[in-house]
Structure 1
């Protein structure tokens, strides 16, 4: 009898310990937060008073998606993640670069699981609040917390702090990711269960955590003409955290820029055809790299132009940009433009210096006070300034490249990377689909798609246009670079993005400061092909000398 009582006592003790362990680990279940749709009339009316006509909005939130679906599948992971826990972790994460976050994880200040849960909590916190929401995301990875737990089991001493290991990264939603939809923001691709893009596989191989998909300008801003940047039918209107419904978010990698700026992720990947990384990076005070065509694979990315498209990293810090770039380079035999890159970009960054570097400064841009201040800071850091006056020339046929490439490249993407349930085959099919419910699917029209269908440029004419534009654009830069032996030309935001695009020159923008009203601007470095390491060095040197980036004030809590 005594033996039976002893066994019963042990059983009771076991269950009481388990209960106590749960009580200690999960002190109280947190209430779930629900986003509620609201009457947008007054907010939309206010945008009509803005000088920037592209900010005259017709809608804010998507009419085809429920924002609660973004985090619904991950709600159980947040049930015991409290505000106190969030506040405790905040000093280790907000505005911190990757090496610092990795050090905190090695020191035991937080785990990869906590890092992921922190971002999910933060995304829900702001995106569920109609006075602060940025419409910056389309989806979250349903498996990301489980994946983070698996990484927490690995010996932290073996992890390189200059790596993407365990870092939650968002992808622009035109980049294929097999356990999430890849929509390009368009209703016609709402259920596109695409394969992984090449760069997605590279991130996974390097143990990065794909946190989710960022909103974008629908079809990478090649759908409507003169419409707001950052709008997509699936994600709604992306907004700038530095001036919500006041300043443009930049496009087309709008959500990628906004999520990085608002500390919704460690880093993001955007894509650019002409200005689509540089623009949102500048507008949201983050670092954005548009690499030389071929440095990064385009396989598995919804295309505009196989001639000009490229993905690129978008980060808060230059060192993070180099770390992410290291993780996603690689020769891709499926991409004819892809090249092998054997450079350690992190090592290159650490060899930074502005001393004796020669910079071409556009004389006309010196009228901009922030640009002028940036140039003075480079001088103080030992850089040599050469004033230049490049001749602005037209780029005839630029639109033809985009039209004909997309007409050819999009069907190829659908055939090889989209899921079998996507039955639309080409641009014409998409335009017909959009007309069935145009007020919801294309509230700003589809003028660019109509232009694609009307373009009759022949293959021979197109080849001539491409070669001519490359020659014209390279002359625009090289006349000054060669004559003055310049390391880079300095521009503002995406002012020279079109020339860099057709020249196939890399460009990198870094926070330069803020206008009197608080709108961010970026200093953009442009150099000859395959100069990514040099651009990162120069940008890092400038960043260290100035530290211009400031977190958006309404998004620091």
Structure 2
């Protein structure tokens, strides 16, 4: 089928349209949720599954059109449930969705895993009237399978490409499909997950806004885990406003996730009031140059321009700060212990008739038995995790955990922010993401510009625990002052 034969579906109705703009169009009768879904399906056909073949969507919701029709009727009778009513989003394929879409984490062993229940955040999206358009491809096991695996690859889903440079520009990971789909306007927004950089990296690489919330802001119930101390889900969208709108829907207390019990009273209330164009005025932003040292000259120039733009918004830059650091750099040892413990617990709850593996050891064996298709890049991370004993009372794990928590929180981010009375720290893209990841602290990345080859780069604001409101002010102010995001050339 040629594009001309689909010309009755007007792409302009969704291209770069915000949630508020889509809501206004539906309220005025200029479009419907069903039409919006069909336009996105058309674009998925044209750009994701043929033509450029971005390969960002692993599976589509077969009920999406029917759900959209139902929500259109509900709007006519009762009005919209929320700002998300009728808005199509894609969900990273390590987040449980009940019904007719699998949750695979991109691995062959879970290709027939059809959960009986939605993840907590998916329930909240549906309650708000959002439409789950499909599941997004990802780096296999959220980039915890092999140190050799490229961003965006999985044995089940194949390779996700960056719409800003198909095959030439890194798509970022592990929420690769989530980033590529939204960047190419194949969905209004997406949900990604992060253990260390997996929202910030693909958001930056795809010129998006990504919010990695404080651990506990968003429930992890129903998400295939890596680390119970670092994992979080978060929104990926084309604007700060859209990302925050989604965060306000998916956050909240869940009795099945103890971390959500730590949300302070009032956090998340009236997020939309923090969209202030002068949000950077009089803000104090810290720059730690140690996280800039791996940037090439061109990317460093983009960051220097961003710093000048921030100063132009009347913020104060506190430059050349030194982050307190332990003699031994923070590592990934804790993740190997936590992954085995978490994945064994998740697999034990899957249906034996659908999933042929019950433990991490079974997954490794399954991959070996199917190595021609399952082990293109090996599985050394899985093997290293299996070599731990799977319990969390080991002295090495406990020492590393306590050390990581101290040097990332009180002895790290907190120390620098409090000493210099900062509103936030400024990082390039996902460089330095490990520090707030270890701390469980929030970050927001915003499009910061492009290299000569068209590679996007992000500007990332990081703060102390549950300071999302302030980060939103800063990120929105920077976004409105610079407005860097442009469409990928293929669209």
Normalised by the size of structure 2, how large is the TM-score?
0.92
Q: What are the residue-to-residue correspondences of 1:427-446 with 2, within 5 Å?
A: 427-446=360-379
- Map 1:497-516 → 2, pairs under 5 A: 497-516=433-452
Residue 230 of structure 2 is matched in structure 1 by 308
Question: Contact 1:390–1:477 at 8 Å: present in 2 too?
Answer: no
Q: Could you tell me which of 25, 29, 53 is aligned with 1:133? A: 53
Q: 1:178 maps to what in 2?
A: 98
Deviations 1:145-199 (A, max 9, x none): 0000011113459656971111000000000001210000011000001121110
Q: CA deviation at 1:426?
A: 1.1
Question: 413, 417, 423: which one pairs with 1:477?
Answer: 413
From the superposition, tell whether residues 507 and 418 of structure 1 become closer, same or farther in structure 2 (CA, over 3 Å). farther
| Residue of structure 1 aligned with 2:308, choices 347, 357, 376 | 376
Distance 2:368 2:19 in 1: 45
The answer (yes or no) to whether the contact 1:322–1:349 under 8 Å persists in 2 is: no
Instruction: Give secondary structure in 2 for the equivalent of 1:243.
Output: coil
1:270 corresponds to which of 181, 192, 217: 192
- Checking the alignment, whether the CA contact within 8 Å between 2:230 and 2:440 is kept in structure 1 is yes
How far apart in 2 are the matches of 1:142 and 1:251? Answer: 26
Alignment of 1:379-390 (within 5 A): 379-390=311-322
Question: 520, 532, 539: which is aligned to 2:468?
Answer: 532
Distance 1:418 1:504 in 2: 32
Distance 1:417 1:430 in 2: 13
CA distance in 2, matches of 1:155, 1:164: 12
Distance 1:134 1:444 in 2: 21
Q: Provide the C-alpha distance between the structure 1 equivalents of 2:443 and 2:268, rounded to a whole number of angstroms.
A: 19
CA distance in 2, matches of 1:423, 1:243: 38
The gaps in structure 1 that reach 5 residues or longer are 1-30, 34-80
Query: What SS does the aligned partner of 2:65 have?
Result: helix
Compared with structure 1, are the counterparts of its residues 391 and 351 closer, same or farther at alpha carbon in structure 2 (3 Å cutoff)? closer
Superposition deviation, residue 344 in structure 1: 2.2
Cα distance in 1 for partners of 2:427, 2:91 equals 27
Describe how 1:403-422 pairs up with structure 2 within 5 A: 403-416=336-349, 420-422=353-355
User: What stretches of structure 2 of length at least 5 have no aligned partner?
Assistant: none
TM-score, structure 1 length as denominator? 0.82
Measure, in 1, the Cα distance between the counterparts of 2:55 and 2:324. Answer: 37
Equivalent residue for 2:430, pick from 483, 486, 494 = 494
Q: Cα RMSD over matched residues?
A: 2.1
Q: Aligned-pair distance for 1:458?
A: 4.9
- Cα displacement (A) at 1:419: 6.6
Q: Which has the higher contact order (CA 8 A, sep 6+)?
A: 2
Within the candidate set 276, 287, 292, 2:214 is matched to 292
Residue aligning to 1:201: 123
| Larger Cα-atom Rg | 1
Decide whether the 8 Å contact of 2:207 with 2:446 is kept in 1.
Answer: yes
Tell me whether 1:94 sits opposite 2:10 in the alignment. no
Match of 2:84 in 1: 164
- SS of the residue aligned with 2:258? coil
Question: For 1:292 and 1:168, how far apart are their aligned partners in 2?
Answer: 25
In structure 2, what is the Cα distance between the partners aligned to 1:412 and 1:528?
Answer: 30
User: Is the 8 Å Cα contact of residues 324 and 407 (structure 2) preserved in structure 1?
Assistant: no
Paired with 2:63 and 2:457, the residues of 1 have a C-alpha distance of: 36
Q: Bigger shift: 468-477 or 360-369?
A: 360-369
Q: Distance in 2 between matches of 1:118 and 1:189?
A: 30
Q: Given the alignment of the two structures, is residue 347 of structure 1 paired with residue 276 of structure 2, yes or no?
A: no
Post-superposition shift, 1:392?
7.2
> Are residues 1:151 and 2:86 paired?
no
SS in 1 for 2:192: strand
Distance change (3 Å), C-alpha of 1:488 and 1:157: farther
Aligned to 1:459: 394
Residue pair 1:183, 1:190 contacting (<8 A) in 2 also: yes
Q: Distance in 2 between matches of 1:138 and 1:404?
A: 29
1:330 corresponds to 2:252: yes
From 460, 463, 468, the counterpart of 2:403: 468
Measure how far apart 1:553 and its partner are. Answer: 0.8
